[in-house]
Amino acid sequence: MTAIHHLSSFISRRSLLGGLTGLALVGTAGAASVQGKIRLAGWSKPISEITNILAEPEKGFFKAQGVELAYLPGAGGGDAIRNILSGQGDVAFTDPGSFFMALDKGEKLVAIYDIYPQNVFNVVSLKSSGIQKPADLKGKKIGVYSLSSGTRQNLLVMLHQAGLKESDVQIVVTGLLNFAPLMQGQVDATAATDTGLAVGLRKGIGEVNVMQVRDHLNISSDMFVVREQVLREKKDLLKAFLQGYRDSAAWMIANPDEAAQLAGKYAIDGTNREINLDVIRLRNASSLPTAQAKGAAPRLGSFDLAALQKGADAYRALGLVQRQLKMSDVVDTSLIPGA
């Protein structure tokens, strides 16, 4: 079943959405009294795949919960975590690898919502390169969004699975739009995501070989993470924030065409509506909880703790973190809407 077909079947099974769409569609009605401000430290600039967040001025999903939302752009999941550790942000929009690495350094962090339970990372090369498996990456130049991004963390997983170290390749920081360097021959392969690949294909990258990280380690792509202190001090505000986010995600799942239109207004890369729609449909599919997530009817935001623990254990086995990390100690599901 393709991701898009999966998405369609998910939406049709109304019991799974549990009425989320109805809630989301009235996001601007009857706004609650303001509880406070949440500064969301993102991993990216304001791009189309987070249109559900960017459209807040128009849709008001967070405002309806009494939350004043501010988005702080970043350059990778590690950047998002640094921004909450420094106190510039309250919530980090970050990848599991960056979360594991921060925990390994002793940071007191807690994951409170699984944004994208599906792994969306990949490594892409032109057919002409002859790169078909991870071992073929040895000695090659590989592009990543940034050195603190999920693209780098997931590339390291793929390299380690092939018995390679980071020093066996040359990593090149290419920025978010990293398919241009691949097309121009500046790198041999690029570590990216499903949405990045969709944009590259739309822009004529040509025939490519795609290696999916989920074939080696299938864990979620992004989560909301907070400092323990912030969780203690702002629990009610964080719960309202997650309700607003859940409603915004449900709206984008149910209304991809409207979201694609609004991306043209709010996203820096939203100039092509058809590309917006491709990206939004992919991101909607990756937002769906996995079958293994807790509960007979998994909710948006549900964690698959067993998969996350496998991920942490794999990072330790590969030498990417040194400490034994127990995910049940650093995941709090109590704030997830419907919990």
> Residue 14's pLDDT is what?
31
Query: How do residues 261-306 score in pLDDT, each as one tens digit?
Result: 999 999 999 999 999 999 999 999 999 987 655 555 568 999 999 9
What gap in Å lies between CA 159 and CA 170, rounded to an integer?
12
Region 248-269 average pLDDT: 97
Region 196-204 average pLDDT: 88
CA atoms within a 13 Å half-sphere pointing along the CA-CB vector of 75: 9
Whether residue 103 contacts residue 330, with contact meaning beta carbons closer than 8 Å, is answered with yes
Query: How do residues 109-149 score in pLDDT, each as one tens digit?
Result: 999 999 999 899 999 999 999 999 999 999 999 999 988 88
Region 311-339 average pLDDT: 93
Region 303-331 average pLDDT: 93
Q: Which of 128-137, 195-204, 257-266, 307-316 has the lowest mean pLDDT?
A: 195-204
Whether residue 299 contacts residue 115, with contact meaning beta carbons closer than 8 Å, is answered with no
Across 16-30, 173-187, 251-265, which has the greatest mean pLDDT? 251-265
Query: How do residues 41-95 score in pLDDT, each as one tens digit?
Result: 999 999 999 999 999 999 999 999 999 999 999 999 999 999 999 999 999 999 9
As separate numbers, helices (DSSP H) first and strands (DSSP E) second, the chain gives 16, 10
Whether residue 31 contacts residue 57, with contact meaning beta carbons closer than 8 Å, is answered with no
Structure tokens at 247: 């409603």
Domains of the chain are 3-118+220-330 (3.40.190.10), 121-215 (3.40.190.10)
Within 221-322, residue ranges assigned H as helices are: 228-233, 235-254, 256-266, 273-286, 305-317
